[in-house]
Each structure stands twice: as structure tokens, then as C-alpha cells.
Structure 1
Amino acid sequence: MALGFFWATILLGFFASVLALDIMGLFRRKNHFPVEGRTVLITGGSQGMGRGVAKLLAQKGANVLIVARDVKKLESAVEYIQAAAKSPAQRFHYISADLMNPAESERIMHEAAVWNNNNPPDVVWCIAGSAAPELFLNTPVERHRQLMDSNYWSAAYLAHATLRSWFKPRTPPPATPASTTTTSKSVSETETPVTTKEQSASQAAATPPARHLIFTSSVLAFYPIIGYNGYSPAKAALRSLSDALSQEINLYNGARHHNPSLGPTADVKVHTVFPGTIYTPGYEHENETKPAITKLLEAGDPGQTEDECAAVSVRGLERGEYLITVAFLGSAMRACAWGGSPRGNFLLDTLMTWITSIAWLFIQPDMDKKVWRWGRANGMPKDAKSA
């Protein structure tokens, strides 16, 4: 028994060391998310996380197009983002649009392509969304629908328009007319035949970088807490959409490799980022309606600035991760909720799942007890009593 415990401790220490080295990037040196000279479209780019991401990608050499509703905020944000550009050759633009209108997504992609020399953006990052924390019973039904439109449908509409643009079939090249006169040549008289291996190497060298569709969910998609009952389901739906698309996109990517001359010009990858607390104007607005019990459960949660959140998110993309968390707490919550989602590092992610599943045996009951004790001490919420 003691010997088994000793070796279990050694093994756990080894895995923890490997995990730390992996987090530091020792095993994944390749950049899976190059953006220099490429065009990135970001929704919600006029403030908060969206603005932070746009600024960081401008520093890395990307051409950036941001989307939001408020023109004044957009104009100010473009100036702010452009000031961080790596090169004077980079280009910046904004589009004012209501993302909750499905027709607007088609317009956005059309205008973005026109601005981008008649090519669709290389990266589309859906960050726009909103939260208004409140108890479920105290939230009007119309507001629940609005939260779903703002956080799920706004991204789903744009994803649909984006993928249709990226996977649009190309026109077959015209057939080369046969020559009326032919001259027979022996193999020795013709050019040296190109081998299959050489052809594959040539095609690989000519393969353009993958395009990226990125959703922005929330750690509350892994573990909802009281007060976010109108917000968490929308963010969980985004994760589910991402999982579904990660399978469907494989179909199109495979078809492209089956016939590169007719398929899309590049492979496509899908990702989802799961931020936690970000100190933005939106967060300050949330606290105006947030129930006291929600604030109690969130007490001690580590927050980030928009720039910190952007930096960790982009590092995850550069490592090639699929579900990207921005802090250890988010990673622990993700580990408890992996389900059938594709995993980045199967061994380390599975180990993290085992560890956190045990920890959650204590965390979950503690959270539930806090809520029950709050109800016992304070009684029914005022609005809920009159409902």
C-alpha cells in the first residue's frame, strides 16, 4: 500500500512537471496562428476583449477590421489599434452593424472582402456579446431571448456567412485544347518526369496558412453559477456549435485535399476561447444588476485586463489549441467538462480531468451550500416573491 502510494506520487509529480513544461511551450514550438500580412475580422472590437485582441494582432502585423454598432466607439478604437501597428503598410477599417440581424452578416462579409482586395478575411473572431446578471425569475422573458441573440445567434450568423464564403466551390479551370499536331518523343527526349513525392512536396510548399474561425464563449459554459441563467446557456450553445463545426469542417478540408484545384483555397480551423472575469466597461455594467449571492460566489476569482486576456488567448491559438482557457481556474473548469470535445494534448488534458473531477467533489457541494445558506438567511428575493 505504502509502495503504491509512493509510485503514484512520483508519477503524479512527473505528469505535473510535463504539464508545466508544456504550458511554457517546450513541446510546441511551431506557430499555428501566423497573422503577419493577413486580414483579421473581429466583432465586438470597439472595446473590451475585442479591442485588446485587435491591438495585439496589429502589433503582430495583421490587417484588422473591427465590427460593432457604435460608430464613435469604432472610430476611436481604430485610431487606438492603428497606433500599435507593426508596419505602416498595415491597413485598418471598421464596419458598423447589428450582428443580431442575420442579413448583416452577409453584408459584413461582402464589405470585408471588397476592402480586402476581393478576398474574404483570413481570420474571423467572434467576440461580441453581452451579459446582464440577474436571477432567472426576475429576468423578463424578452431579455432571455435577447441574451441568446446577442451571445449565440450573433456569432452563429457570422460563422454561417464566413464558412459559406471560405468553402465556396471554385470554377474548374478551362480544358487545354489538344494540339492538332503532335510529335512523338521517347522518355529520354522529354523532360525528367516529376515523381509523386516531388509533387507532394511542391503542393505542401504552396499550401497557404489555414484560415481560423474563433468563437468567444465563457468559463460559465463549463460551470454556470446563479445569476447567469440567461447568459450561460447561450455560451454553452456556442461551445456545442464549435464542437459540431469541428467535425463538419473536416469534411470540407478533406474534400479540398481530394481535389485541390476545385476545393477551398486553404484549410479551416475552428477554436473557442473561454475567458473569465475581464475588467472592462461591460464588467462594470454587469455589477449594476448582479445579485449579491452571485458576487459572493465570484469573490476571489482572478480577473484580467483586456490586454492580459488577449495575450493568453492568442498564445493558445499559436499553440494550436482548440478549447482555449485564459487562467488556471478556467482550465480546471474545462477539465471537468471536456465531454466529447476534441482535446489538444490528450494525455495532459486527461490527467487534468482526473485531478479536477476529484476536486469538484468538494467544490460543487460547497457552492451549493453557500447558495442554500444565503436563501435561509435572507429569504425569497423581493421580485421573485411577487412573481
Structure 2
Amino acid sequence: MTVTELLGHPIAIGLVAVLIASAAMGLFSSNKHFPVEGRTVLITGGSSGMGKALATKLAQQGANVCIVARTQSKLDQAIEHIKSHAKSPTQRFLAISADCTSPDENMRILAQTTSWNNSQAPDIVWANAGSSSPGLFLDTPLETHRSQMDTNYWASFYLAHATLKLWLAPQQKKEVIKPRHFIITSSSVAFVGVAGYTPYAPAKAALKSLADSLRMELNLYNGSINSSKPSPAAATNIHLVCPGTILSPGYEAENRTKHPVTKILESGDPKQSEDEVADASLRGLQRGDYVITTQWLGHAMRVSALGGSPRNGWGIVDVLFGWVTAVAWLFIAPDMESKVWNWGKEHGCA
């Protein structure tokens, strides 16, 4: 029985539908946690795919948007597209060509954005740069393993370090500033190991651990705002977005090198367009969610792997959904294991 077949059972469908519908209708949280109109948003990996879709939707909502990527020609095309969707003629847009795997480049990105933003730090920073090079652990060159960690972990780490160092500097004079948001794009493979994603998944799992640690650590700084001591100018919220399969040029490139057993394991997974993922991500932020997944299978993977991570909203949906998935994994995990075993039995280790 596959993951889709098991969770497609009528009883499971009914439970999942009630839980997700309740959360989607906002019964467990507010929709006012992520105002963007008039604020400045910096997005890495913003020239294509999910990043470009996010930048476009944020422009539609009235944000000033800065996108970052390596290739200037792609940036130029993307920024024109994003500008064309602006809500107001007063909005401002910037494109920065940079290598996000360099700590110095991330500091330059923040400095250039701050200068362009009338010497004010950006209000929202989204570490979205990344790419997937799937393959079996032993078949993948060590250089690829290293570059996947650089692109998918260190690029976000360096941006987080540079941004939080800027945002959390203590201020003597306290002004009322809306909370800032640092958002990290991870992946649903951060929750569940999948054969053939060993170059990619560890970096995304490391991002979840980084976000969990930062979220707790930031209580120190956010709590200091209510004291008489020097403190940051605004509270800072951390969010982790974990999409599943996104139909994009990147996904097409993945499939050209992806091992057949990986394709079997994810054959029944739901797929989303770039716009659908962007919409779901922004809805989660508006609800004030911490860990945000973008479709039902991602929700199931998230609640079954939360551990000590905070639950979204009041937590009741996550707890109930977690009970469902805890039972489901009794069947799903052996099914996934057997698919990999049978592939080796039938085809050998080639």
C-alpha cells in the first residue's frame, strides 16, 4: 500500500479534510501576522521558480521588493515581470547579482539593500536560494555533496547571520516598529529521509534545526524589548517553509538525473505549481505559522516529525493530525522500505 493509497482511505480522507479545512479557514489562528504593504522584502533565489512567484505576489500586495540571484540577465527579466504586478506606482524594486554561498557577499547584499532602502534595514528577509541534485549517496561525487550543502544550507546560514546581526543590534532609543520576519525555505524531505535525496535532504534537515534553534534563541532578544535596557528596534520572527514537489524547470532538471527508485517513491506525491506554493507559503505566514507546509502530504510529514518544534496556531490540529499520521506510518514506512528493497532485488545495485 502506497502513502497516497493509505492516506486516501475514506476515514483518513475525512479526518485529514476536517483538520486541514479547519486550519485553512483560520479557526485556529489569525490572518494578520504578516503585513507587507509599504514594507521592504529581500528574497534570495528570486529570479526564477518559487522565488520569482513569491516576489510577484508580494509586489501585488504592495511591498517594495529586492531579489537576489547569480545571473544578471535572469534578474533583469524577473524584475521587469515583478514590477509589472506592482500594486502602486510608488513601490520600489531592486535586483542584486551575488553568490549567496559567500559570507562576504551576504553582508554586501544586506548593505546594498539597506542603502537602497533609505538607510533602513529590510523588514522581511527570505532565504530562498537553493537547488536539488538528487542521486544515490555513493554515486554522487563528493564535490556535489559539498556544493549541495553550500547552496542549500550555508547560503541561508550566512544570510541569517548577516541579517540578525543587523536587526538585533541594541538600540538606546526605542521606537514602535512592526515585527520583522526572517524566513527560510527548506523542503518536506527535512522531515522524512527518501532514498536518492542524500545529497540534498541533509542540508534541508539542517535548516530545520537551525530555524528551531534560532526561534528559541530569539526569545532572549524579543524579551529584552520590554525591558529598560538597550534592545533591538523590533521583535524578530523566524519561519520555516517546507514545500514538496514544485513543477518548475528545476524539477525537470532533477528528473533527468534522478534514480528510478526515487521516482517510484515519489510517484504518488501531490505536485504544485510555483504560484500554488507561493500562495500557500504566504497564507501560512499570514496565519503566523512557524513551520509552513504547502500541501496535504507535506502537512502529514510535518506533524509526524515535529519533535520539540512548536505547533502552529493553537496546536490542536497538529496534535490530532499527528495521531492520524502516527498510525499511518506503521504502514507507510515498511511500504517505502520494501520498494527500495525490491528495486535492488530486481535490478541489482546499479
Q: TM-score range by the shorter chain?
A: over 0.9
Whether 2:183 is the aligned partner of 1:214: answer: yes
In structure 2, how many angstroms separate the alpha carbons of the residues matched to 1:26 and 1:351? Answer: 15
Shift of 1:207: 3.2
Could you tell me whether the CA contact under 8 Å between 2:96 and 2:109 is conserved in 1? yes
Distance 1:64 1:363, change over 3 A: same
Shift of 1:342: 1.1
Q: Tell me the secondary structure at the aligned position of residue 252 of structure 2.
A: helix
Shift of 1:208: 2.3
In structure 2, how many angstroms separate the alpha carbons of the residues matched to 1:25 and 1:141? Answer: 45
Shift of 1:243: 0.2
Distance 1:282 1:82, change over 3 A: same
Structure 2 gap segments, 5+ residues each: 1-13
Partner residue, 1:68: 69
Shift of 1:375: 0.6
In structure 2, how many angstroms separate the alpha carbons of the residues matched to 1:27 and 1:218? Answer: 24
Shift of 1:26: 3.4
User: 1:138 corresponds to which letter in structure 2?
Assistant: D
Shift of 1:27: 4.1
Could you tell me whether the CA contact under 8 Å between 1:49 and 1:307 is conserved in 2? yes
Q: Tell me the secondary structure at the aligned position of residue 225 of structure 2.
A: helix
Map residues 1-387 of structure 1 onto 2, 5 A cutoff.
Answer: 17=18, 20-170=21-171, 172=172, 207-259=176-228, 262-344=230-312, 345-381=314-350
Distance 1:66 1:19, change over 3 A: closer
The RMSD of aligned alpha carbons is 1.9
Q: What's the % identity of the aligned pairs?
A: 54
Shift of 1:22: 2.8
Aligned pairs, number: 338
Q: Tell me the secondary structure at the aligned position of residue 196 of structure 2.
A: coil
User: 2:288 corresponds to which letter in structure 1?
Assistant: G
Shift of 1:17: 4.2
- Please give the per-residue CA displacement for 1:25-74, whole angstroms capped at 9, x wherever unaligned: 23434410000000000000000000010001000000000000000000
Could you tell me whether the CA contact under 8 Å between 2:16 and 2:321 is conserved in 1? no
In structure 1, how many angstroms separate the alpha carbons of the residues matched to 2:246 and 2:31? Answer: 29
TM-score for both structures, normalised by structure 1:
0.84
Structure 1 gap segments, 5+ residues each: 1-12, 174-202, 382-387
User: 1:34 corresponds to which letter in structure 2?
Assistant: P
Could you tell me whether the CA contact under 8 Å between 1:15 and 1:348 is conserved in 2? no
In structure 2, how many angstroms separate the alpha carbons of the residues matched to 1:18 and 1:79? Answer: 40
Could you tell me whether the CA contact under 8 Å between 1:256 and 1:263 is conserved in 2? yes
Shift of 1:16: 6.8
In structure 2, how many angstroms separate the alpha carbons of the residues matched to 1:15 and 1:142? Answer: 41
